[in-house]
Each structure stands twice: as C-alpha cells, then as structure tokens.
Amino acid sequence: MSIEADFYELLEVERGADNASIKSSYRKLAMRYHPDKNPGCKDSEAKFKAISEAYDCLKDPQKRAAYDRFGKAAFQNGGGGGGGHQDFSGFADIFENIFGEFSGRGQRQARRGADLRYDMEIRLEDAFHGKKTEITIDVSAACETCDGTGAKPGTGAKTCGTCAGHGKVRAQQGFFVVERTCPSCHGAGQTIADPCNACHGEGRVDREKTLDVTIPPGVDEGTRIRLSGEGEAGARGAPPGDLYIFIHLARHSVFEREGTALFARAPISFTTAALGGSISIPGLDGATHEIRIPAGIQSGKQIRQRGAGMPVLQGRGHGDLVIQIDVETPTRLSAKQKQLLEEFRETETGDECPNSKGFFAKIKDMWDLT
C-alpha cells in the first residue's frame, strides 16, 4: 500500500470509527510493522511511519475534522482544500503570530496529558462521615524504559529539520504570513529517530494504577474531587492531566437527602397520633434521636430535629433531620380492641375531628341549596 493512501485505509478502520477503535487498530499495526520487528525492511519502515502519521492526525479531533473535509491538503502550505476555498481558521494563526511574540504564546509548548473522569458510588453513611478508599484505573503513564522521552535508551530526540525546533512553520498567503503547527514534529520541535521499543516513541504506555482517595464529609450527588497530575501522561515528558472523581450516592433504605437536610417518613399508630408520645429514630451520626409527637398530629405533618442532618461540606455545622408523620390505620384488631373502639365511637360528638365535621357540614349546606 502506498504511504499516500487514505489515513482511514492505512489504519484499517471505517471513517465513522470512534477514538477507541482507531487507537486499538493503530497499536496492532504499529506492533506488526515496527522496524525492530522487521529489521532492514524498507517497506515496513515506510508503513510504520505512514500509520504513525495517520494516527497522529485522526486522534486529534480538530486535525481529524480538517482531514475529513480537505484531506492532506489541509496540512500542506496552509491550504484549505483547493477549489479557491479560503480557510478562515488561518486568521487565528495570523493573530497568534502577530501578538504571540509580545505575549510569549508563540513559543513551543508541550502537549499536556488529557484529564480523566472516574465515577464513584458511595453510601449515604460514607457521605456523612467521609471515607478513605482505593481506586484502580487504566491510564497512560510515563514510559519507565525511556523516562517518557520516547527515544530508545542511550539515544535522544533531535531538532526537527522542518521547523528548526520552533514547532511551527510559516507560509505565505497573499499579503499575510501564516504560522502553523509543524507537520513533521506536530509542534514538539523535536523528532525521534530511534523510538523506544516499549512505547514506540510515544513516551507513555497504558498500565493499571491504584490511587488513594479521601472522600470528605458532606459530599453530595455530583460532587467533583480533583486529583492533580493523576490523569493521562503528557506526550514525551509533557505534564500529565488531572483525574476528576464524580460522586454518586446510592439509594438509602430510610433517608432521602436534599442539600444538608435528611428526610424520613415515620408511620405511627393512630393512638399515638391522638394521644401524643415519642418515637426513636437512629441517625447517620450513630446517635438515637427522640422525636416528640404532639397530641392530635395529622398525616403529612413534618417534625424538624435541628442539627441532626448532613454535615456542611468544607464547613461547620449540620443540616436538619426532617421526619414526616404518616398516621397508620390498624388493619388487625382483637375482639377487645374492636369493642373498645365501638365504645369510643358511641361517645363521639364530632368535635373530636373538626376537619371531618366541617367538611360534611359543607356537603349538607350544598345539598340544602339545591
């Protein structure tokens, strides 16, 4: 296959392939055509360079979009794909070229590693007390064989001949001089003539890493914890990205949370509702909270226990514990209980339940009007 072939054909993937498929196919092909596995084979060497160039383009969303639209012409002489089309993204490079010399942005910068996301589900108890735990992630880490340089031990990177180490090249477009990322070193300013066998010149390898994580008290659904420098390793010794841990709370059997408040539904007997009393609620703090029930309480009434809720994240104090009362009507009565209730009903005047009395009075008035 000619090294001028389509990038997708070189990597043996479809045009709509996702990043994971492209990366997987590239690794298999790189292993197959690596010069160390095919010593003296010029065709394998050319193929290895071609698939490396294809992967470097397609793994970058912006480069891939430009390639899908204009092909290789997108990276040649500042072109925009032919047909007299003017690529207006070049004006961003023009301004960077003009003002970058004053701000320092025109200098070559290392490509920082990508940030990673990790979703962690914890219990409500862990969110209350905090927690120390371990997580294991798959991450691209700096290659230990070459210390992240990408070059075979004993060798080193060389100054790029295309851009003379600047990481950018200039092209004339009419009256303007446009500065673009160097197509040979892709902005690194250096090229690897003899790549490391372990990482194939990337300066990083995939491995499993175990990290200690501290969950502070008071975290809520969606809380984000940042672990600086624990993301993807940067290319060829560049700084690593960060790891962001997103907290998710598992459903609790008793409590529901809203901010720092804890909510629970407590069913009570109709005698307790009528006569008053107290109930015991075990809190997440390990203490037992006595909730006083006033006589005559109705279903749906909420009783608030101050300071028995969730802790304030990175602050002081706690929210409230809110108990919603559900008056439960008995469904199983003994003969004696039924007799006692019958005796109670015989003594009822209607004043015991003013809401019921008022409702039926309104109903009677409505029928009298008709």
The residue behind tokens 């927690």 is 131
353 is in an annotated binding site: no
The verdict on whether residue 196 carries a ligand-binding annotation is yes
Q: In the chain, which ranges are E strands? A: 116-122, 131-142, 158-159, 168-173, 176-181, 190-191, 204-215, 224-227, 243-249, 256-258, 261-269, 277-282, 288-293, 302-305, 321-328
Local structure of 29: helix, strand or coil? helix
Q: Is 41 annotated as a binding residue?
A: no
- How far out from the chain centre does Cα 175 lie? 46
Residue in 8, 177, 3 with CA at minimum distance from that of residue 95: 177
Shortest CA distance to 113 belongs to which of 240, 243, 242? Answer: 240
DSSP letter (8 states) at residue 322: E
Does the annotation flag 163 for ligand binding? yes
Name the 3-class secondary structure at 275: helix
Q: How many CB atoms lie within 10 A of CB 10?
A: 23
Q: Which residues are annotated as a binding site for Zn(2+)?
A: 143, 146, 160, 163, 182, 185, 196, 199
Q: Which residues are annotated as a binding site?
A: 143, 146, 160, 163, 182, 185, 196, 199
